[in-house]
Structure 1
Amino acid sequence: MRIKAQHYAIVAVDVEKFGTRDNPTAFLLRKQLYSLVETALDDAGIDRSAAPDPADRGDGFFQLLPGDVDKLDLTGPFVALLHNALRDHAATSNAPGALRIRVVLHSGDVGWDGRGWVGEELNTACRLLDIEPLRTTLAQAGRAGLALAVTEDWYRRVVCHGTAEVEREAFREVPFDAKEIRGASAWIRVPGYDVPPGIPPMRRAERPEPTGPAPASPAAPGGAAGAPGGKAGTSGGLTVGDVGQFVHGDQYVKGGLTIRMPRRGEGGQ
């Protein structure tokens, strides 16, 4: 039987250093995690009445919400309320009982096969929970109760429009490479920080580029291959009208280029 998928918003959470806790502490943290996330969703005005039950992952869980949920409410008020609740928890807990979490927001088609939830987008959300930049920034963000990561698609649809609720300027882009995912990007934010600690600005050369061979440019009359409209200059140089774009280190150069060719007797043997 074909599995019928539906579009959901995906909220995935994972407890930092969960495997280091003894069993009684782990039981308590799991109970507190569910309670804090569900309360934050309710207080943010997000209706869970039509949502499936959360799906447990041992050291965390994911919650599927109907696809028409307000994603601004999830990205802004929900994250803020959850962060505040985690900070309140930290004020009364010792180190073994610390509850700090990684949070991921994504959306896409997910189906129920009678035993569990299945879908590429769900895999993506769970992969994103475990990327090293998200772990690193939470470890270095001592004042924070959580670190948030959103997929490139979520960032483009929700965050980049710059509404006050989501604090677009506080997000930083990071590479998203995990198992079958290669060359993607994600965006990370830590509440209470202007920029996520431990994440340097992503250089342009590190960002994913379209793959596939670049079209070859034919040689122009009187010029060189790959140099449309090239012509010999009167000073012994070659003027290239438009070389497109090339990279040198971190520098990108685009536009016209003049190459000076040495005359006989200049710099020769």
Structure 2
Amino acid sequence: MRPKSQYYSILVVDIAEFGSRANPLQLWLRERLYTLTESAFTEAGVDHRSTPRPSDRGDGFFWLLPGTVDRTDLTGRFVEVLNHRLREHARTSSEEGALRLRVALHQGDVAGDGRGWAGEELNTACRLVDIAPLRTALASGTRAGLALAVSADWHRQIVRHDDPSVASETFRRVPFDAKEIQGASAWIRVPGYDAPPGLTEAETAPPAGPAAPSGRAAPGPVAAGRTAPGPDTAPNRSGADGSGPFAGAVFDRVGQVFAGDQVVHGTQHFRWSAEPDDPEDPDRRPKAGA
């Protein structure tokens, strides 16, 4: 029987610089990681006991949380409490025993087969925790115990709604390119900072739009009353002789949008009507003197 997928919030955590530690220290850090995470879940009121147990990844884990979990609490209160626990740990540990985390949040359908878990959204979450801007922000944010990345969907559904606990103004968008994921974006923050530290302008720039055929930039929206740019014309211009891809066109509707390659021959009139065949449409009535 095909394993059935279920919808989960996906938390992925990785310990920074884990592989550089001696084996006994790695085991101790793993123990501390689970203890601090479960303590943060409990204090933040996030139900983690009715879910599958976390799946260990050696230097971290992924944890599938049920769809009933409040994602605002997970993004805000849980992250703040976990960061506080990590800072407490830092005050009593040596540099060698430092426990600093990269954390990612995503959501979607994941299927289990009794041996483990699989699904595109789980792959996305695991790729997200490894992106270069997140590593840079954590390395630069020495006051914090963690750096957080959320997917674009998570940001749209949770972060952008400005709940005070989420600190939405401290997130910045970064490119998300990792193996099979190209041209996507993610959002990151580092608790205690107004913006993720250490990132260059290029690292916080939104991803570029898709290229148009023949290598030209992809066309954008065309404002009402303007012509779409063609390969031999300047943007939003027609030739003085009336030539151009929208030669003779009349645009009557405010907010009209055209994009992509357009070919127009002869005079074209674009009129708006909810019912194009409605004889009562004033734009379709014969004009006086016509």
TM-score, normalised relative to structure 1 = 0.80
Hey, what's the Cα distance between the residues in 1 that align with 2:247 and 2:206?
A: 29
Q: Corresponding residue for 1:3? A: 3
Which string of whole-angstrom CA distances, capped at 9 and with x for unpartnered residues, describes residues 169-203 of structure 1? 10000000000000000000000000000124569
Which string of whole-angstrom CA distances, capped at 9 and with x for unpartnered residues, describes residues 146-189 of structure 1? 00000000000000011101011100000000000000000000
Are the equivalent residues in 1 in contact too, given 2:44–2:73 (CA < 8 A)? yes
Are the equivalent residues in 1 in contact too, given 2:149–2:187 (CA < 8 A)? yes
RMSD of aligned alpha carbons: 2.6
Distance 1:185 1:136, change over 3 A: same
Instruction: List runs of 5+ in structure 2 lacking aligned partners.
Output: 220-227, 250-255, 260-290
Are the equivalent residues in 2 in contact too, given 1:172–1:199 (CA < 8 A)? no
Amino acid at match of 2:77: P
Instruction: List runs of 5+ in structure 1 lacking aligned partners.
Output: 231-241, 246-269
Which string of whole-angstrom CA distances, capped at 9 and with x for unpartnered residues, describes residues 214-265 of structure 1? 68878979333345559xxxxxxxxxxx9989xxxxxxxxxxxxxxxxxxxx
Q: Corresponding residue for 1:86? A: 86
Are the equivalent residues in 2 in contact too, given 1:217–1:227 (CA < 8 A)? no
Equivalence map 1:127-142=2 (5 Å): 127-142=127-142
Hey, what's the Cα distance between the residues in 2 that align with 1:204 and 1:130?
A: 16
Equivalence map 1:112-191=2 (5 Å): 112-191=112-191
Q: Corresponding residue for 1:35? A: 35
Q: Corresponding residue for 1:62? A: 62
Structure 2 counterpart SS, 1:165: helix
Distance 1:243 1:33, change over 3 A: closer
Q: Corresponding residue for 2:22? A: 22
Hey, what's the Cα distance between the residues in 1 that align with 2:16 and 2:229?
A: 52
Q: Corresponding residue for 1:192? A: 192
Hey, what's the Cα distance between the residues in 2 that align with 1:110 and 1:212?
A: 35
Q: Corresponding residue for 1:76? A: 76
Hey, what's the Cα distance between the residues in 1 that align with 2:133 and 2:204?
A: 17
Are the equivalent residues in 2 in contact too, given 1:184–1:208 (CA < 8 A)? no
Amino acid at match of 2:175: P
Q: CA deviation at 1:80?
A: 0.3
Hey, what's the Cα distance between the residues in 1 that align with 2:108 and 2:257?
A: 40
Are the equivalent residues in 2 in contact too, given 1:172–1:201 (CA < 8 A)? no
Structure 2 counterpart SS, 1:11: strand
Q: Corresponding residue for 1:225? A: 244
TM-score, normalised relative to structure 2 = 0.75
Hey, what's the Cα distance between the residues in 1 that align with 2:91 and 2:81?
A: 16
Q: CA deviation at 1:207?
A: 2.5
Distance 1:121 1:92, change over 3 A: same
Structure 1 counterpart SS, 2:169: helix
Hey, what's the Cα distance between the residues in 1 that align with 2:204 and 2:155?
A: 18
Hey, what's the Cα distance between the residues in 1 that align with 2:74 and 2:109?
A: 18
Which string of whole-angstrom CA distances, capped at 9 and with x for unpartnered residues, describes residues 78-105 of structure 1? 0000000000000000011000000001
Amino acid at match of 2:152: E
Distance 1:203 1:37, change over 3 A: closer
Q: Normalized per residue, which structure has more strand?
A: 1
Which string of whole-angstrom CA distances, capped at 9 and with x for unpartnered residues, describes residues 110-138 of structure 1? 01012110010000000011110000010
Hey, what's the Cα distance between the residues in 2 that align with 1:28 and 1:19?
A: 13
Are the equivalent residues in 2 in contact too, given 1:217–1:228 (CA < 8 A)? no
Are the equivalent residues in 1 in contact too, given 2:229–2:245 (CA < 8 A)? yes
Distance 1:202 1:74, change over 3 A: farther
Distance 1:78 1:203, change over 3 A: closer
Identity across the alignment (%): 57
Structure 2 counterpart SS, 1:2: coil
